[in-house]
Each structure stands twice: as structure tokens, then as C-alpha cells.
Amino acid sequence: MIDINIIRNNKELVKDNIIKKFQDHKLHLVDEVYDMDIEVREVQTKSDSLKAKKNKLSGEIGVLVKNKELDKVDEIKKEINKMSDEINNLEIRKEELKKEIKKRMMVIPNIMDSSVPIGKDDSENVEVERFGEAKVPDYEIPYHADIIANFNGLDKESAGRTSGEGFYYLMGDIARLHEAMLAYARDFMINHGFTYCIPPFMIRSDVVTGVMSFEEMDAMMYKIEGEDLYLIGTSEHSMIGKFKDQILKEEQLPINMTSYSPCFRKEVGSHGIEERGLYRVHQFEKQEMVVLCKPEESMNWYNKMWKLTVELFRSWNVPVRQLECCSGDLADLKVKSCDIEAWSPRQKKYFEVASCSNLGDAQARRLGIRVKNDKGNYYLHTLNNTVVATPRGLIAVLENNYQSDGSVVIPEVLRPYMGGKEVIELKK
């Protein structure tokens, strides 16, 4: 949610931002907010004026009673009662207007950073930089589900019986490799100065609407029937929600945390759920990073954060690239965002494994997270980035470390988490 002062002082900037995001259907919201905000202030001025007159008349009653001018007292009381009714009606109107303003402000997109490339959708995202050499070996690399099946590491059939499509069992060395990656990612982030956290895996609706847009919420979140609770789609939701309605001291900033959680997603949309493989599933695990910082520091943190994910995947022998998200692919709360994509030697292309976002003060405004310094209070900036999400990260490691004999070399940094094991070999 943007600062309403931006609409008051430069509504054309807000409209231009909406046009660049190809959301022209939202343009009318800016004018509606602008007009209603003027009315709110007019109502407030009128209400304040009536309250001042009412107080003045109330002060005169004592003098009139003392002088036994009771007829005038009755007249003033009637006038005061009339004013009270009018003030009450004005207050009701003000609250109605504020409610309507908030409803519109919640769907007006955040102001993008000037560096965001303009484009209609993800097909127009811009490659910025590659890290590591993207190689295609001279032997065939099987589909990831087949690689895992050769190690007796995947059972989607049983998961279909217990849970339906979009779920899976990981077993044996594959399950162990999956957890080794998460454990290494945890320690990697701790070693870079982030505080480790395991958050709640369910959050209330006021936190959900504080951290994401309504469209994202409907497409992603599972609601717990009969309760005001949602299963988290990603841990930054509960991590940012941790500071809801708090006033932090400036010396506490920056707050940089790394969190582990399972994640649950409907995966509603044209892409659907993949029946055979593990690209899109309803349940997965993730190591996340979250930063709360001063506004002037957020872009520096943004660049630090996505580079950490690059460093992590390179330590696993996985070539990656950074892809800048264009305006039409940028979620409404985001100021700037990029994806980290891993190389798939089987597909001979890159696929998304992480996403880094700077949300400016949008989440802080929605959740009431402020910072106190000697000049007063202000809204901080929030950022989040995927360290690694499995099983996508697992797919990248398996494909890029697959050998011609069907074995998979375990990246050296993961071997201590695998009991010293160096290779996952085919089951005989």
C-alpha cells in the first residue's frame, strides 16, 4: 500500500506507474481515492468546527444557569443536541470514506523502481548476468523423476493414495540429499550473519492481507476451515508478520533473518500441477531470507540477497543466471524483483529456483511496522529472497551432477551432511 500523500501530491505519477504495469483497469481507483480523500478532509474540518461551537455553547450553559436564564439554557441544549447528531453523522461518513479509500489503496500497485524494465509479462523479463558455464554433456540426462526413481527415491503413486495429486514421498539417499541441501543452506545463511528462525506455519487473515495482494492470496493460500488461519505459502509471510503493529528502535536495524518452513500452495492457474515430476507441487520445503531495514539501505540489501543465492547454487556446481522481472511480471506490492534461474542440462535452458524482492514500505504500511528515531516514526522497508526451495533446488543439483553411469556426484560442501558420502549410486 502506497503513501496516500503520493496520490494527494502527484496522482499522475501513480497513474503512470499503473500504465507501465499494464493495469489500466485500475486507473479510475486513483481519481476515486483522490476525490474521497478531499471529502474526508472537508468532513473532518466541518466536524472540528461543529465540535468547537458545541464546546463554546456548553461553556455558556453554566453562566446562563447561574443567571437563571433557563429559557436560553433549553434553547442551547437543543442546539447542542442537534450539533451532536450532525457530528455523529459526519463521523460515520468519514469512517465510510476511509474504509472505501483503504479498499482501493490495497489494490493500487506500489511505485516501481525506475530501473525496472517495462514489459507485459514474464516473457519480457531481462537476463542480466550468468554465473558458471552452462554445459550439456555428451550423454543423455534423464527426466528428474526418472533419475530419482532409479535410486528408489520417489513414490508419487502412494502419495496419490494418501493425499492426491501434487504430493510425493522422497526416500533413501534422495530424501537425505534433500535435507542436506536445506541444512547446508541454513548454515550458509547463519555464517553470513543471518539469525536462524523457525516460524509458525499458519497465519491469520490480517497477516496474509498485510504481506500480499488479494490476487496472490486467492491463487496460493489454503484456508483452515472454520478458523481464521491460513497455511503459509512461504515463510516470509509469518516472518514479516512477526513485527505486526510494532514500533522498533532504529538501532535495531537492519534485522536480517533466515527461516525454514514447509510451504503449501494451491498452484491455481494455467500451469497447473505436474502429474509426474516435482516442478509444481502442493507441498515443498524452503530456506528463506528476510530483511527489515532503513529505506535508504534497501537496494543495497536487495543486491546482497540475490547474490547470496547465486553463491549457494554455485557451491553445488549449478550454473545460474539473474533475470530482472519486468513491470508486467512484478507483483503489486513489489518495488523491484529478480529471479535466479538454474541451468537444466537436460532441457538445455534455465528454470526458476529463487525469487528476490524489495517491497519498499508497502508491507510495513499494511502491517503497521514502524521505526522510531529522534525525528519521529517512519515505515521501514522489507525484503525477501529464496535461499533454496526444494524440490526445485534438488532437481538442479541432480541434473548438474549426473554422471554417464547413472550415478550422481554429491557436491563437496554437502558431503558432511550426507555422512561423508560422495556419490549416490544406482540401486541394483
- What is the Cα–Cα distance from 199 to 184, expressed in whole angstroms? 19
In 63-211 the beta strands, taken as DSSP E runs, fall at 126-131, 154-155, 169-170, 195-197, 202-203
Report the length, in residues, of the chain.
428
- What is the Cα–Cα distance from 143 to 174, expressed in whole angstroms? 15
The SS3 of residue 212 is: coil
One pLDDT digit (tens) per residue for the chain, 428 residues = 899 999 999 999 999 999 999 999 999 999 999 999 999 999 999 999 999 988 888 877 777 776 667 777 777 888 888 889 999 999 999 999 999 999 999 999 999 999 999 999 999 999 999 999 999 999 999 999 999 999 999 999 999 999 988 899 999 999 999 999 999 999 999 999 999 999 999 999 999 989 987 677 777 889 999 999 999 999 999 999 999 999 999 999 999 999 999 999 987 554 555 567 888 899 999 999 999 999 999 999 999 999 999 999 999 999 999 999 999 999 999 999 999 999 999 999 999 999 999 999 999 999 999 999 999 999 999 999 999 998 899 999 999 999 999 999 999 999 999 999 999 998 76
CA distances from 418 to 152, 235, 388, 428 (A): 17, 26, 18, 21
- 122-424 shares the fold of 4-105: no
Q: What is the pLDDT of residue 61?
A: 77
Q: What is the pLDDT of residue 280?
A: 85
CA distances from 308 to 103, 183, 190, 356 (A): 37, 16, 12, 10
Who's near 132: CB < 8 A, 6+ residues apart?
314, 317, 318, 319, 320, 343
Domain ranges for the chain? 4-105, 122-424
Q: What is the pLDDT of residue 271?
A: 56
**Cα 26 to chain center, whole Å?**
21
Q: What is the pLDDT of residue 195?
A: 98
Residues 334/328, Cβ–Cβ less than 8 Å = no
Element holding 350 (H helix, E strand)? strand 349-358
- SS3 string, 35-100, reads HHHHHHHHHHHHHHHHHHHHHHHHHHHHHHHHCCCHHHHHHHHHHHHHHHHHHHHHHHHHHHHHHH
Q: What are phi and psi of 128, to 5 degrees?
A: -105, -45
- State the fold for domain 122-424: BirA Bifunctional Protein; domain 2 (3.30.930)
- What is the Cα–Cα distance from 178 to 20, expressed in whole angstroms? 40
Q: Enter the CATH code of domain 4-105.
A: 1.10.287.40
- SS3 string, 220-237, reads HCEECCCCCCEECCCCHH
What predicted TM-score, i.e. pTM, was given to this entire model? Answer: 0.90
Nearest of 35, 361, 28 to residue 210 by alpha carbon: 361
Residues 231/202, Cβ–Cβ less than 8 Å = yes
